[in-house]
Amino acid sequence: MHDAALLRRFRGRCSPGKTKWPGHAPARVACVRETSELQTVDPNSALHKVAVQHLDELNTALWVFDIDHSKVTWANKAALSVWNADSLAELASRDMSTDMSVSVAQRLKQYQEDFIASDAAFTEVWTIYPQNVPTTLDVAYKGFRFDDGRMGMLCEARAQRTDTPEGLRSSEALLHTSVMISLYDAGGTPLYRNPAARALQPERGLQLKDRFVNESDHDKLISQVDLHGGCRQSARIQTSKGIRWHEITARECTDAVTGKSALLLSETDITDLKEAEHRARYLADHDTLTGLPNRNYVQSKIPKKLEVAGSIGEKLAFLIIDLDRFKAINDALGHAAGDELLIQVATRLPAITGDAGMVARLGGDEFLICLQDVRSREQIDAFCEKLVEEFRTRFTVDGREFVSTLSIGVSQFPEDGEDLHTLLKYADVALYEAKEDGRNTHCCFNISLRNKIEEQLTLERDLRAALEQEQFELFYQPRVDTFTNQILGGEALLRWNHPTRGLLAPGCFIEAAEQIGLIIEIGDWVLTQAAIEQHALEREGFPITVSVNISPKQFESSTLFTSVLSLADRTGCNPKRIELEITETTLMSSDSSIIETLSTFKERGFGIAIDDFGTGYSNLAYIQHYPVTSLKIDRSFIANVGTNHAVMKLIMSLCRLLKVKPVAEGVETEEQLAWLQQHGCREFQGFLYSPAVHRNQFRDLLKRQHEKAPSEAMHYPMFSTG
Ligand code: C2E
Ligand code: MG
Ligand code: MG
């Protein structure tokens, strides 16, 4: 019988999925038994022998593969030759799993499932490696049910292919790759799927369009291919593992079989990447403690919202909400309780707001509500009052009940500003006003607040100009010996020759300069000028100490250190006659490196004074940890020496103990001076002797003193370094 005819008969009888062949029993006997014509035939009969002979005579290799055990259980003669096996027993004893790659094993499992699920049949180019010799075959295979019910595979190898090595390798790659490759005709009907693509198809023959979760993604892909001949896009796809994100590369091509135009897709699963991206975006945009949108979210989303609102004439209100005395609650109940309170607030605020707006946490105990579709100021007031009212309801944290009130600052779009930065800034200014107003209330940004800000902005602008146009000047206030009235030194105090407002004292501008960071440049200028002055005075015969105020901001900057260390080289000053005045705030807010910085300055000869001592909240004993040479006692203590001198006495004894020189500030009366003399304070500053004066006047004071007592003037004491 002709091979093809015999095979047709054979297949007709042993239809895959239904045929029962024995697992490990001699398969050819079973095969014969299962064919309807031979079922009744005695295995030892001539007919049976003929049938077996026919199968063996076929040029087509046929074998049965037990997927579960990775073994061939039956093979005809052609198959034995393909597998380079001496006998069926030898072939059946081979464990195919030893050389099998993971991808092939997975694919076989997938085929097994496909055979179980449907009447599947595939043809693929396979390269097998009998005795390590690569042999490439066209293999058609179908499901095959063993006696014990398990699903195996009936393989039929067609003519051995004689492809080029490139051809062989490319078809192997197509078979093994995890990239899903599929070919569709122009109507979207699948023509070919490689194993990876087939493994994920939820149902056979699914049209391209039906694979997309969103039809628009399919339409977009097709239109891009129409326009550009190909495209790359990611889309959500229906697969046998559920909905997955695929990155799809599509190319127009021609089907090699029909010659008609077709679409070649290669797809990779990027679900994990998408999920990671989504998670990262969520984390970047949301506050981890409360789950509310965070400042980042506000900054990225609100500008667009403003644009849309502006285009349709919608009005918005921005409410910055700050919990009153949250710090005290946090300190009293602990951080965990503070966090718990914030979580409860983050639940309460959206509950009150509902659909009226969006709630975000800006940081710390500061929240933002963006109210949309605002129709009137009354509506805003009513909403704020409702918020304040609702926060009268107690919170329960850690079994303890308490009330946490809030203050609200409001700015309106577009009235107060058209960009987010301005709106938040103005809401913040209004919040500050609400706090000043006694808290537990709200304040809307208004004209007088706007004027205040404008003044501030003008001041900032003028300050920058002042530095460029050299409008700053240093005045000097004498530091005087309490007993001899000799000038021991001078404190450099900044003045601003304002072009319209006249001579300004630092109280009018230092804070603004601090806020905009300009104090660093200004402070450096002061330091340099004061050092130049010290050098000049010394050369003129006045070897006195010049003290310079250093702001906390300057200490935070990286430039101060090098600026101080290079001061002598730059100006010719004598570091032993320069004293740096720092505040308690500087000591308190800086990290531990300040001790090293101050020690280095002291080693170089500079004096270190604590300015306005007693106004900070530091405890007296901490001073001993710092290399301090003088304590400048704040004038508020001096003003009270007549009535309450207990603290002054304490400070004086502390100075003695720590070997630090006390300097009294703001001495205005003879009584105060007498008290200082009595209690051993050797140095003072104050209007009693002289206010801060222009450098020329300061020289005049020195000269006059020099003329009065020339011999003493030669012995100005340098400050002691303890
Ligand atoms: P300060 O360093 O404590 O300077 C002493 C201030 O007290 C000076 O005010 C001085 O004029 C004033 N004063 C002196 N004696 C008396 C007195 O008997 N009675 C009264 N009521 N006041 C007296 P000024 O010059 O207005 O400076 C104020 C503050 O500005 C300074 O306080 C200092 O903290 C800061 N400052 C001044 N110049 C600079 C500077 O160049 N850099 C930095 N960072 N701050 C400076
Ligand atoms: Mg000072
Ligand atoms: Mg002071």
Q: What is the pLDDT of residue 623?
A: 80
Q: Is the peptide bond before 414 cis (omega within 30 degrees of 0)?
A: yes
Residue appearing with tokens 């900070």: 616
pLDDT at 25 > cutoff 60: no
Q: What is the pLDDT of residue 31?
A: 41
Asked whether 505 lines ligand 1 (CB < 6 A), one says yes
What type of residue sits at position 326? F
Which range among 99-103, 452-456, 511-515 shows the weakest confidence by mean pLDDT?
99-103
Q: How far is the CA of 482 from the centre of ligand 3 (A)?
A: 17
Q: How far is the CA of 580 from the centre of ligand 2 (A)?
A: 9
Following DSSP, what letter does each residue of 197-224 receive, concatenated? Answer: HHHT-SSTT--HHHHBSSHHHHHHHHHH
CA distance 94 to 3: 28
* More confident of the two residues 575 and 28: 575
Asked whether 508 lines ligand 1 (CB < 6 A), one says no
Asked whether 507 lines ligand 1 (CB < 6 A), one says yes
Q: Is the pTM of this model over 0.75?
A: no
Residue appearing with tokens 């122009």: 186
Q: What is the pLDDT of residue 646?
A: 86
Atom of ligand 1 nearest to the CA of 493: 38
Q: What is the pLDDT of residue 718?
A: 37
Atom of ligand 1 nearest to the CA of 548: 41
CA distance 564 to 443: 46
| Three-state secondary-structure class, residue 16 | coil
- The distance of Cα 576 from the centroid of its chain, to the nearest Å, equals 48
pLDDT confidence tier of residue 181, bands split at 50, 70 and 90: very high
pLDDT at 20 > cutoff 50: no
Q: How far is the CA of 491 from the centre of ligand 1 (A)?
A: 9
Q: Whose CA is nearest to atom 42 of ligand 1?
A: 549
Atom of ligand 1 nearest to the CA of 667: 18
Q: What is the pLDDT of residue 21?
A: 33
Q: How far is the CA of 581 from the centre of ligand 3 (A)?
A: 8
pLDDT confidence tier of residue 571, bands split at 50, 70 and 90: very high
Q: How far is the CA of 695 from the centre of ligand 1 (A)?
A: 16
Which range among 6-10, 162-166, 518-522 shows the weakest confidence by mean pLDDT?
6-10
CA distance 570 to 532: 9
Q: Whose CA is nearest to atom 20 of ligand 1?
A: 666
Looking at all shown ligands, the one closest to residue 633's CA atom is 3
Q: Which two tokens stand for residue 677?
A: 């003399």
Q: CATH number of the domain at 286-445, please? A: 3.30.70.270
Residue appearing with tokens 């003493």: 712
**Nearby residues of 171 by Cβ (< 8 Å), 6 or more positions away:** 125, 136, 163
Q: What is the pLDDT of residue 721?
A: 32
| Three-state secondary-structure class, residue 589 | helix
pLDDT at 8 > cutoff 60: no
Helix (H) or strand (E) holding 233: strand 230-239
pLDDT at 357 > cutoff 70: yes
Using alpha carbons, select from 69, 91, 70, 97 the residue that is nearest to residue 79: 91
Q: What's the fold here for domain 177-275?
A: Beta-Lactamase (3.30.450)
Using alpha carbons, select from 407, 420, 313 the residue that is nearest to residue 358: 420
Q: What is the pLDDT of residue 590?
A: 67
Q: Which two tokens stand for residue 402?
A: 């308490």
Atom of ligand 1 nearest to the CA of 634: 3
Q: Delimit the domains of the chain by residue range.
A: 2-169, 177-275, 286-445, 461-713
pLDDT at 16 > cutoff 60: no
Atom of ligand 1 nearest to the CA of 494: 38
Asked whether 411 lines ligand 1 (CB < 6 A), one says no
Q: What would the pLDDT profile of 414-462 be if each residue is shown by its tens digit?
A: 999 999 999 999 999 999 999 988 888 999 999 899 998 888 889 889 9
**Which residues crowd ion ligand 2, with CB under 5 Å?**
549, 581, 611
Asked whether 672 lines ligand 1 (CB < 6 A), one says no
Q: For 437-452, b where at least 16 C-beta lie within 10 A, e where not — what string? A: eeebbbbbbeeebeee
pLDDT confidence tier of residue 17, bands split at 50, 70 and 90: very low
Q: How far is the CA of 14 from the centre of ligand 3 (A)?
A: 106
**Do residues 195 and 174 make contact, with C-beta atoms less than 8 angstroms apart?**
no
pLDDT at 50 > cutoff 80: no
Task: Among 480, 510, 632, 667, say which to mutate for ligand 1: greatest number of ligand atoms within 8 Å of CB.
Answer: 510
Q: How far is the CA of 485 from the centre of ligand 1 (A)?
A: 21
- The distance of Cα 288 from the centroid of its chain, to the nearest Å, equals 11
Task: Among 474, 515, 549, say which to mutate for ligand 1: greatest number of ligand atoms within 8 Å of CB.
Answer: 549
pLDDT confidence tier of residue 720, bands split at 50, 70 and 90: very low
Asked whether 523 lines ligand 1 (CB < 6 A), one says yes
Q: What would the pLDDT profile of 317-327 be if each residue is shown by its tens digit?
A: 999 999 998 98
CA distance 581 to 630: 9
Asked whether 493 lines ligand 1 (CB < 6 A), one says yes
Which parts of 114-189 are beta strand (E)? Answer: 121-128, 135-146, 151-158, 180-185
Q: How far is the CA of 527 from the centre of ligand 3 (A)?
A: 17
pLDDT confidence tier of residue 97, bands split at 50, 70 and 90: confident
pLDDT confidence tier of residue 619, bands split at 50, 70 and 90: low
Q: What would the pLDDT profile of 60-87 be if each residue is shown by its tens digit?
A: 889 999 999 999 998 999 899 889 899 9
Asked whether 494 lines ligand 1 (CB < 6 A), one says yes
Asked whether 510 lines ligand 1 (CB < 6 A), one says yes
CA distance 38 to 530: 118
pLDDT at 37 > cutoff 90: no
Q: What is the pLDDT of residue 716?
A: 39
Q: How far is the CA of 553 from the centre of ligand 2 (A)?
A: 15
CA distance 89 to 256: 42
Give 588's Cβ-side CA count (13 Å radius). 11
Runs of H (alpha helix) within 74-183: 77-82, 88-92, 102-117, 165-176
Q: Whose CA is nearest to atom 29 of ligand 1?
A: 506
Atom of ligand 1 nearest to the CA of 612: 3
**Do residues 244 and 236 make contact, with C-beta atoms less than 8 angstroms apart?**
yes
Stretch 203-209: mean pLDDT, rounded? 87
pLDDT confidence tier of residue 202, bands split at 50, 70 and 90: confident
Whole-number percent of the chain with pLDDT over 90: 59
- The distance of Cα 210 from the centroid of its chain, to the nearest Å, equals 38
Q: How far is the CA of 59 from the centre of ligand 3 (A)?
A: 109
**Structure letter (DSSP) for residue 623:** G
pLDDT at 374 > cutoff 90: yes
**Nearby residues of 263 by Cβ (< 8 Å), 6 or more positions away:** 183, 184, 185, 186, 188, 208, 225, 250, 251, 252, 253
CATH architecture of 461-713: Alpha-Beta Barrel (3.20)
pLDDT at 24 > cutoff 50: no
Pairing of the two strands 406-413 and 442-444: parallel
CA distance 561 to 577: 18
pLDDT at 495 > cutoff 90: yes
Q: Which two tokens stand for residue 527?
A: 């330091």
Q: What is the pLDDT of residue 454?
A: 87
How buried is 625 (Cβ within 10 angstroms: 0-12 exposed, 13-18 middle, 19+ buried)? exposed
What type of residue sits at position 30? A
Q: How far is the CA of 565 from the centre of ligand 3 (A)?
A: 24
pLDDT at 201 > cutoff 80: yes
Q: Which two tokens stand for residue 670?
A: 């003879």
Task: Among 467, 475, 493, say which to mutate for ligand 1: greatest number of ligand atoms within 8 Å of CB.
Answer: 493
| Three-state secondary-structure class, residue 542 | coil
CA distance 269 to 659: 75
Q: What would the pLDDT profile of 236-270 be if each residue is shown by its tens digit?
A: 999 988 999 999 999 998 887 788 899 999 999 99
Looking at all shown ligands, the one closest to residue 511's CA atom is 1
Following DSSP, what letter does each residue of 305-350 receive, concatenated? Answer: HHHHHHHHT--EEEEEEEETTHHHHHHHH-HHHHHHHHHHHHHHHH
Q: How far is the CA of 231 from the centre of ligand 1 (A)?
A: 71
Domains 177-275 and 286-445 share a fold: no
Asked whether 250 lines ligand 1 (CB < 6 A), one says no
Q: Which two tokens stand for residue 320?
A: 């910055």
Q: What would the pLDDT profile of 551-560 be if each residue is shown by its tens digit?
A: 999 988 889 9
Q: Whose CA is nearest to atom 44 of ligand 1?
A: 551
Q: Which two tokens stand for residue 446?
A: 């208004």
Domain 2-169 superfamily per CATH: PAS domain (3.30.450.20)
CA distance 285 to 600: 44
Which range among 32-36, 71-75, 527-531 shows the weakest confidence by mean pLDDT?
32-36
Share the mean pLDDT of the chain: 87
What are the helix and strand counts (H, E) for the chain? 29, 28
Looking at all shown ligands, the one closest to residue 639's CA atom is 1
Q: Whose CA is nearest to atom 41 of ligand 1?
A: 494
Q: Which two tokens stand for residue 358?
A: 């969006």
Looking at all shown ligands, the one closest to residue 475's CA atom is 1
CA distance 58 to 68: 27
pLDDT at 9 > cutoff 70: no
Q: Which two tokens stand for residue 324?
A: 């009153």
pLDDT at 47 > cutoff 80: no
